[in-house]
Amino acid sequence: MDRETVLVGIDAGTTKVTTLIGEVGRTGDVNIIGYGIAPSVGMKKGMVANIDQTVNSIASSIEKAERLSGYKISSAFVSVGGSHIGSQNSRGVVAVSGHKREVSREDVARATDAARAVQVPSNREILHVVPRGYIVDGQEGIKDPLGMSAVRLEVETHIVAGAATSVQNLSKCITQANVAIDEMVISSLAAAEATLTDTEKELGVLVADIGGGTTDVAIFVDGAVYHSAVLPVGGINVTNDVAIGLRTSLNLAEEIKIKHGTANLNEVQPEELLNVAVLGDEGGQTIQRRKLCEIIEARMSEIYSLLREEVKRSGHAGMLPAGVVLTGGGARIGGAADLARDVLEMPVRIGSPQGVGGLMDQLSNPAFATPIGLLLWGAEHVGAEPLTAYSNGSSVGAGFGRVVDWVRGLFPG
C-alpha cells in the first residue's frame, strides 16, 4: 500500500483512554498500525476532573500505541464529550461573487462563515460547523454547489458548541502529553463515521454511543447531521446499581454485568443461580441471575427513556425510518438492542466499527467506535480547507494545518 500519511485518534473517555495510529493510503483507506489502551483516571462524565491524572492516563495510552507501531506521535484528532455539548442549526446566505456567477470554494466558505456568525455566549466555544446542504437560487437539496451558475447561495449548517473551559481543560491535557491537536471532534460524530451506512443517514437514523459516563447522541436526516447532544448517563450508572444491589465491588460488578448480565429478562430462567463475592464476606453469596438482570434492565430502560425524550426534543419522533444504532461499551450488554426496541419502538441494531483495515480482534467491538471514527474523520477531512477555519484562532487547528501542508508537499500540483 502507498503510504500517504499517518493519522492518530485519541479518545479520552470516562473509563478508558484509547490511542489509535492509522496509515492512510492514496485511495483514502485506513489501516490501523498501533493502538494503546489505558484506564482513564481523572475524567468524570466525559470531562476533565483532574488535569494531572488525565495527562498521565493519556500519556500512558500514547506510549503503548507508540511502542506497538514504532511511530512517534506528534499530533492527533481528539474526541470531546460531556453534557456541556449542545447544537443548533443555522443558515448562511451570500451573493455569488465573480463575473461568471459560478459558485466557487470562496463562496461556499463565505456562506459557511455567515452561518457560523450565530450568537454564541462568550463561555461557549464552537467545535463544528458542518454543512448539511445547499440552496442555490431557491433550489433545495443540493449536496455540492461548486461550479453551478447562481446569483444567491445559501448553506444549511449544524453548529456544535461546548463549554469553553471544558474544551480548554481537555486541550491542556493533550498538549501537556506533548501532542498537538489536529482537530477536536465530538464523540457522536466520530462514532457515526465508524458505524453508520450512507443509506441509514439518508433515511434518518439516530446513533447512540453509550460510553462509561455519558451517552453521545447524533441524529442524521437526509444524509447529514441534524441534531447532536450528550446525555449524562452511561455504563457506569448500570455498574453502580449492580454493585449496590449485590453488595459487591465496582470492578466485580462490571465483570458480572458483562459476563452474566442481560437487559432482556425473557432470556433469563428463574432457576439460574450465580455465585457472587460480597464485600466483607469470604464465602460470597448465591443469587438468582434474574435479580442481576432486573437491576440492569431498570437502568438501561432509564437510559433509553432519556434517549426517547431527546428524539422528541429534536422534533424527529416517528421520523427515523432507519431507527437506532447503539454503539460504545454500553452496547455490549446482552439484550441491549432487544430492550431498546421495546422502549424506543424503533428498529435497533448494534453498531460495530467498520471501514478500517488492520483491525485487531480486540478493537472490532462497539467500545472502539469513537477512536476508529476519529481516524476515518481525519482521513476524510485531510486536505479539506474549511476545517482549519473552524479552529477559531486557538491552537486547535494548528497541527491539522501541518498535516495538510505535509500531504501537499508529498503530492505537488
Among 113-122, 167-176, 289-298, 389-398, name the one with the lowest average pLDDT. Answer: 389-398
For residue 113, being part of any structural domain is answered with yes
Q: What integer pLDDT is reported at residue 394 of this predicted model?
A: 33
Q: Is the pLDDT of residue 196 over 90?
A: yes
User: Average of pLDDT values for 18-28?
Assistant: 90
Residue 355 has pLDDT above 70, yes or no: yes
Count of residues in the chain: 413
Based on the structure, what is the number of domains in the chain? Answer: 1
- Residue 311 has, within 13 A of its CA and on its CB side, a CA count of 25
* In-domain check, residue 356: no
Q: What is the mean pLDDT of residues 39-46?
A: 93
Q: What is the pLDDT of residue 396?
A: 34
Residue-level pLDDT at 410: 39
Please, what is the Cα angle at 59 between 54 and 63, to 5 degrees?
A: 155
Domain of 144 in residue numbering reads as 86-163
Identify which has the larger pLDDT, 392 or 62: 62
The pLDDT of residue 5: 87
Q: Does residue 195 lie in a domain region?
A: no
User: In the prediction, which pLDDT does 283 show?
Assistant: 66
- How far apart are the C-alpha atoms of 8 and 178, rounded to whole Å? 13
| Residue 125: inside a domain | yes
Per-residue pLDDT averaged across 32-48, rounded? Answer: 94
Mean pLDDT of 262-278: 88
Considering the domain boundaries, does residue 304 fall inside one? Answer: no
User: What is residue 391's predicted lDDT score, i.e. its pLDDT?
Assistant: 33
Model confidence at 182, pLDDT cuts 50, 70, 90, reads: very high
Among 77-81, 247-251, 290-294, 403-407, the range scoring the smallest mean pLDDT is 403-407
Span 286-336, pLDDT tens digits: 889 999 999 999 999 999 999 999 999 999 999 999 999 999 999 999 999
pLDDT of 284 above 90: no
Whether residue 58 has pLDDT greater than 50: yes
Q: What is the pLDDT of residues 375-404, one digit of tens each?
A: 999 998 875 543 332 333 333 333 444 444
Report the pLDDT value the prediction gives residue 383, as an integer from 0 to 100.
Answer: 55
What mean pLDDT value characterizes the chain?
89
The answer as to whether 105 is a domain residue is: yes
* Spatial CB neighbours of 386, under 8 Å, sequence gap ≥ 6: 108, 109, 112, 129
Q: Distance (Å, rounded) from C-alpha 346 to C-alpha 316?
A: 12
Residue bearing the bigger pLDDT, 231 or 400: 231
Per-residue pLDDT, 382:
72
pLDDT for res 409: 41
Longest dimension (CA), the chain: 85
Q: Residue 187: inside a domain, yes or no?
A: no
Taking Cα atoms as reference points, which of 357, 310, 76 lies closest to residue 216? 310
Angle at CA of residue 115, ends 112 and 121, nearest 5°:
125
pLDDT at 8 over 50: yes
- pLDDT band at residue 120 using 50, 70 and 90 as cut-offs: confident
- Summarize the confidence of residues 43-71 as an average pLDDT: 95
Give the rounded percent of residues in the chain with a pLDDT score beyond 90: 77
What is the pTM assigned to this prediction? Answer: 0.89
Ranges 37-46, 107-116, 350-359: which has the least confidence: 350-359
Neighbouring residues of 202: CB distance < 8 A, sequence distance ≥ 6: 222, 223
CA distance 319 to 325: 15
Report the CATH number that the domain containing residue 126 is assigned in CATH: 3.30.1490.110
Q: Is the pLDDT of residue 209 over 70?
A: yes
Report which of residues 338 and 270 the model is more confident about: 338
In a domain, 93, yes or no: yes
